[in-house]
Amino acid sequence: MTLTDNRFTLGGVDMLRLVEEFGSPVYVYDAATIERQYKRLDAAFAGIEHEIKYACKALTNVNILSFIRRIGGGLDTVSLNELHLGLKAGFEPNNIFYTPNNVSFSEVQEAIALGARLNLDNLPMLEKLGQTYGGSVPVCVRINPHIMAGGNEKISTGHINSKFGISMTQVDAIVRVQEKYGLDIAGLHMHTGSEIVDTDIFLQGAQILLEAGRRFKTLRFFDFGGGFKVPYKPDDNETNVEELGSRLAVLCHEEMKHRGNSFYVCFEPGKYLVSEAGMLLARVNVVKQTPATTFAGVDTGLNHLIRPMFYKAYHHITNISNPHGAVRPYSVAGYICETDNFAWDREMAEIREGDVLAFHNAGAYGIMMASNYNSRPRPAEVFIVNGKAHLIRRRETLDDLLRTQILLDI
């Protein structure tokens, strides 16, 4: 987002014009930012053969998926529908990982039939795979390394109480299932959390995974998951991916010497690729003074961007209608009949009724976690490519809300 002559632009497009053209609220995504992030990560891991699989749960619009395919990425999916969206976006099935948790074996079988690469995270499922397919379907196994990583406990997934992965203490059991059925264990995987800033923690997990890998001669790759942190606040910290990349390359090359064979590595970034590329634009309906604060009430809420309420996540907010207004504290709140505060007493340029606010870092887990609560339709999505804004999802309507309801004649 750039400020020139009193107007904010995103990807070269005037942001207020976006609201005039597509209505409010609206999610907008900038292709150039996604590409910048992809290239930076790709360069950071240049010291080792690698694949970048976009964890598409962050944002699955097929246009975003096909853009990521065009710039060279693969996909990580967690449901059959994500897998189907990936295929629709033109990914080859063998460029799509299927990393489910607590799904039925029939879902796994459907993913196999579609040709996706399997990543399984429980022993009963590995048994079923062996019983049904012997060693004919290569499989990656998700290990839980028992480390606490990531921004907070809600988004940490590799600790001892986490439902994800097979415990690092159960590697013997994995070996037994492999021997029993001749399983082709092609890779080991970990994903320990989101917003991991500390490269030491990341490497600690990687070390555990590499050591577990010594029990499996069949391995061709290690998948170190996603979780790279991007800045959310001005001057916020972020994962130093360059440092991580060079330290990880050293670790992996040492391990290759130890194993006597080479392997490649995979990463599954979600936020890193799309968080900063997205903005949610919303209009101020009401400015209201209370004894406690000044509320700016907007035409969106926890139904469209739940991260501040669900994770206490900070999302920076810019009043794009009044770039040079006098700065004073505002509390920004949604229109949902719940307490859906986006910010409390935050210093912002003077807010007037009708102004448009931009919520930053809305590309990842924004619209994907949106709902129809209070029977509000979900916003439109717009994708900016080469200086041009394209509508990539229309705003929902009352008819969309009624579409799945069955009206009884009783």
Closest residue (Cβ) to ligand LLP? Answer: 270
Closest distance of CB 236 from ligand LLP, Å: 14
Burial class (CB in 10 A: 0-12, 13-18, 19+), 97: buried
CB 271 within 8 A of CB 195: yes
Spot the catalytic one: 56, 140, 266, 337.
337
In the complex, what is the shortest distance from the CB of residue 276 to ligand LLP, in angstroms, rounded to a whole number? 12
Minimum distance of ligand LLP from residue 109's CB (angstroms)? 20
Beta-sheet pairing, 117-120 with 96-98: parallel
CA distance 147 to 207: 12
Short-list 308, 181, 156, 170, CA closest to 232: 308
| Least distance CB 190 / ligand LLP (angstroms) | 9
**Unique residue bearing structure tokens 């991916």:** 241
Q: Which is nearer to ligand LLP, 59 or 389 (CB)?
A: 59
Residue whose CB is less far from ligand LLP, 76 or 299? 76
Tell me the closest approach of the beta carbon of residue 54 to ligand LLP, in angstroms: 9
Binding site for ligand LLP (CB under 6 A): 55, 58, 76, 99, 155, 191, 194, 225-228, 268-272, 307, 311, 364-365
Burial of 42 (0-12, 13-18, 19+ CB in 10 A): middle
**Closest distance between ligand LLP and the C-beta of residue 314, in Å?**
11
| ∠ CA 389-394-396, rounded to 5° | 150
Q: Which is nearer to ligand LLP, 55 or 356 (CB)?
A: 55
CA distance 181 to 178: 6
Of 227, 198, 213, nearest in space to 263 by CA: 213
Of 58 and 85, the one with the shorter C-beta distance to ligand LLP is: 58
Check if 266 is active-site.
Answer: no
Q: What is the DSSP string of 287-343?
A: EEE-SS-EEEEES--TTT--HHHHH-----EEETT-TTSPEEEEEEE-SSSS--EEE
Distance of CA 100 to the CA centre of its chain: 15
Kindly tell me which of 130 and 225 has the beta carbon lying closer to ligand LLP: 225
Closer to ligand LLP at the Cβ: 155 or 382? 155
Catalytic machinery residues: 337
